[in-house]
Amino acid sequence: MSHDKIVIYHNPACSKSRETLQLLEANQCAPEIVEYLEEPPTPVELKRIIGLLGVSARDLLRTTEAVYRDAELDDDSLGDDEIIEAICEYPALLQRPIVVFGSKAVIGRPPTRVLELIA
């Protein structure tokens, strides 16, 4: 096992986030837990996560959140930087959970995706 730390961007109120954390712990992983609603990631952190996930900033948006509509984030003309700013301002928009391990990351939906990182 590598010595890179595992970081989970976690929302304790989310069942998928709790399941993902339990899976990590069941596999002898002790991740650093970032409760991103309390400590939102910075734009620099988000850009790094997006790069590790290999997705666009838009792919990180939870489109079911009321703030998604309120902030008019369904506007396709918005660029990554504007979406990243919105996620930093309204962290509830961030897909959850996100697990980062070294140079890889996954969104834990379904939670078993985290096993790809630690296998």
Q: What's the pTM?
A: 0.93
The domains of the chain, with CATH numbers, are 6-118 (3.40.30.10)
The pairing of strands 98-101 and 32-35 is: unpaired
By annotation, the residues acting in catalysis are 14
- Please, are residues 46 and 57 in contact by the beta-carbon 8 Å criterion? yes
The predicted-structure confidence for 34-63, as pLDDT tens digits, reads as follows 999 999 999 999 999 999 999 999 999 999
Nearest CA to 40 out of 87, 7, 78 is that of 87
pLDDT at 2: 47
